[in-house]
Each structure stands twice: as C-alpha cells, then as structure tokens.
C-alpha cells in the first residue's frame, strides 16, 4: 500500500523532517556498512509539538489508506511513543482504537508478561519509524500471533527503498518489500526516498538542492 497517492502529505512530511533536524545530510555510515548521504533519526522528534505533528502525519495517512485495523501495536522502544501518539491523534480525528506495546524483558511481578496496554486482539497494525531488515517486524508478528491476534500491516515514517543485506551481501529486495511479499503485510509509509529526492530537487534552498545528486547516486547504487 506504499503507492497511496498523496504527494502533498509526503512532501510536507519530508519538509517537516528536514526543518526539525530529523532528516540530515552529509556522510553517515549505515548498519550495513554503506556510506549514506542522508540520515533519518526519528528519535529527534523529541518534544511535544514535533511528536504531535508526526502523529498527525501517521493518522492522516492511515485514514486515507483504507487499511482496516482494530488496534495499534508499538514495538519497543521507538514504537512505544509512536503507537501512543498515533492512537491519540486518531481519536482526535474520530477513530478511537486501543494500543499496546512490549517490554524488552518480560516482567515477573505485578501484571507480569512482556505486553503492556490494551489486550492484543483482532487485526493489529504495527507502528514503527522505519523497517531496516524486517527483524523487529518478525518479532512483533510473533508476539501478536502468540496473543491470538492477527497482524495486518505496518505503518512507518520513511521507506528508504534500499536493498537489504543478508549474510553481509546485498540482495535484490528491500526490507519493505520483504515485509510486503514474504510476510504478507500491507506497508503504509509517510514518504519514500523518491519523495525525498523530489523535495531536494524542487526546493529554493541551493544547499539542499546540492544534496540531490549524492542522494540520487546512492539510490542508483543501492535502491530497489
């Protein structure tokens, strides 16, 4: 479901991410060992105003997508804050759904267990910042199915449209494509790397426009 047409929302989200310092440009080494000309760090949506606006982008994208879900699940750690914020914004827009999240380590006292929040049931939407290798998604799927519920999709902020790595080598599919085709889950993204490129090329800031060429070169080399 990544091809939902809403260029305005994607453009506004990329602009917001750049202005908030969440999307940065330069030289950054990725977990896969690649030198990337950009870096997206959702942990820098770190005050009430930024988080509220981020949740608004998620909620509007989800409502426009038509994806059916009964509740939201946020994988620890970044997904916890995202799930709560998106649930609040969805309720504000008239779509009140429960949410839950997991602990990294199961609690052996009090209510116990590794899941916190609403009972995990029905069709469950996973909310996270990005999909890197699909690992956190597989872990979330295992927890959701163990609770007797059904994972139905994943909502992320940015689809990097980048080849995944397996055993230290590049493969011909991205993490998002793996989740979509192999795990059979719909993926809804606020923006893609192509959206970022459009923004860089169309902006009035010559400094930002200068980053379009290295980002395109990275896309050409590692993109799917």
Catalytic residues: 107, 109
Do β-strands 163-166 and 169-174 pair in parallel, antiparallel, or remain unpaired?
Answer: antiparallel
DSSP string, the chain: -TT---HHHHHHHHHHHHHTTSEEEEEEE-TTS-EEEEEE-GGG--SHHHHHHHHHHHHHHHHHHT---SEEEE-TTHHHHHHHHHHHHHHHTT----EEEEEEEEE-STT-EEEEES---SEEEEE-S--SSSHHHHHHHHHHHHTT-EEEEEEEEEE--BEEEETTEEEEEEHHHHHHHTS--EEEEEEEHHHHHHHHHH-S-HHHHTTHHHHHHHHHHHB-
């Amino acid at each position: 479901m990544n091809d939902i047409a809403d260029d305005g929302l994607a453009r506004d989200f990329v602009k917001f991410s750049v202005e908030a310092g969440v999307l940065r440009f330069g030289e950054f080494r990725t977990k896969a060992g690649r030198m990337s000309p950009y870096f997206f760090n959702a942990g820098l949506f770190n005050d009430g105003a930024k988080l509220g606006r981020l949740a608004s982008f998620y909620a509007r994208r989800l409502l426009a997508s038509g994806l059916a879900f009964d509740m939201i699940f946020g994988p620890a750690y970044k997904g916890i804050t995202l799930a709560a914020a998106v649930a609040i914004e969805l309720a504000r827009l008239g779509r009140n759904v429960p949410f839950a999240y997991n602990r990294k380590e199961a609690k052996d006292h009090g209510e116990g267990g590794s899941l916190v929040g609403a009972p995990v049931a029905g069709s469950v939407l996973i909310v996270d910042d990005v999909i890197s290798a699909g690992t956190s998604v597989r872990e979330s799927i295992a927890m959701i199915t163990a609770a007797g519920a059904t994972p139905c999709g994943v909502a992320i902020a940015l689809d990097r449209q980048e080849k995944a790595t397996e055993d230290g080598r590049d493969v011909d599919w991205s993490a998002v494509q793996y989740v979509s085709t192999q795990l059979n889950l719909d993926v809804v993204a606020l923006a893609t790397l192509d959206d970022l490129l459009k923004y860089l090329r169309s902006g009035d800031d010559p400094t930002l426009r200068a980053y379009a060429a290295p980002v395109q070169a990275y896309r050409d080399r590692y993109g799917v």
